[in-house]
Amino acid sequence: MQELWRGNANAWECDELGHMNVRFYIAKAMQAAGTLSDLAGMRHAFRSDAIATLITRELQVRYLAECHAGVPLVIHGGVTEVGEDSLELALIMEHTVKERPAASFLIRLDHCDPRSGKSFNWSDRLREGLEALRIERPAEVTPRTLTASKPRSDISLKLADRLGMAVTGRGRFGPEDADIFGRMRAESAIGKTSDSVIHFRDGFPEEWSAHGDGAGLELGGALLEARIIYRRLPLPGDGYLMRSGLIGANENVRSLVHWMLDPVSGQPLWSIEGVACMMDLKARRLFKTPPDRLAELRAKVIEGLSV
């Protein structure tokens, strides 16, 4: 695998749980994807004067170890599949000193016109460049608990209402959410979700109660893996509405689905399946859900909900 990024976790990238927020793992992975495009011969793909770029269509991430402020990190990776007008990348982020994985990523990108967003075929030169970066898919990128369901085509606000999905987020996209072409950056999807998920009372009742009691957090919801389906990349000024529901729970993890919708048309912007645990914030390890709480969670599961 090629080294594609090297840096650290910044203090301002860490959240209330004391570790790097989920969005910044993906932000660094997308920098690594840019380096790989250079190596393949697709230079300037992410500059404003690009004649071709790469647009993320699906991303799977596994969070394998916490990253605290200042910790040195490195990303290695390569190409695992090349389609007519797309490719799949596998990336491994490591703790540089500890030499242990911090996260893994499997990313499908389309080769696109940067302005229209329409995909088009690789040239022979670029295909050769990508093939030279081929690697076997690393075991670390294989999902553990995520479902392998085909992305659904019927997501809408009306369906969210019918399924009884909770309203968990609402807001707008700003210039800070956009890439050089003015479209939403890949990490903004998980970022907006992270900003709102505390409102998902059915999924994380422990945190909801702690905020109500004012006693401070002893347990926090930590995302272990996620699958993001990018359906439309909004522009600065567009609004969003987030709806959430549980799809399963056991003593170790709870599985959930978020639909981010256009609040005016009701059509999907992206959908996310996540697997999370409750983390003991003092011991810094997984907290097993007791039987009474588990029964409460399972009673909230929405049958038929998927990404």
In this prediction, residue 49 carries a pLDDT of 96
Element (H, E) at 219: strand 219-230
Q: What is the pTM of this model?
A: 0.96
**Top-level CATH class of 145-307?**
alpha beta
Residue range 24-78, pLDDT digits in tens: 999 999 999 999 999 999 999 999 999 999 999 999 999 999 999 999 999 999 9
∠ CA 49-53-59, rounded to 5°: 145
Do residues 275 and 223 lie in contact, with contact meaning Cβ atoms separated by under 8 Å? yes
Q: C-alpha distances in angstroms, 169 versus 47, 70, 158, 200, 305?
A: 32, 30, 17, 9, 18
Domain span(s) for CATH 3.10.129.10 in the chain:
1-142, 145-307
CA distance 299 to 293: 10
Assigned token pair, 282? 């003092």
In this prediction, residue 283 carries a pLDDT of 93
- 258 burial (CB, 10 Å; 0-12 / 13-18 / 19+) is buried
Element (H, E) at 101: strand 100-112
CA distance 171 to 241: 7
pLDDT band for position 209 (cuts 50, 70, 90) = confident
Residue range 257-273, pLDDT digits in tens: 999 999 999 999 999 99
Residue range 150-199, pLDDT digits in tens: 999 999 999 999 999 999 999 999 999 999 999 999 999 999 999 999 99
CATH no. of 1-142: 3.10.129.10
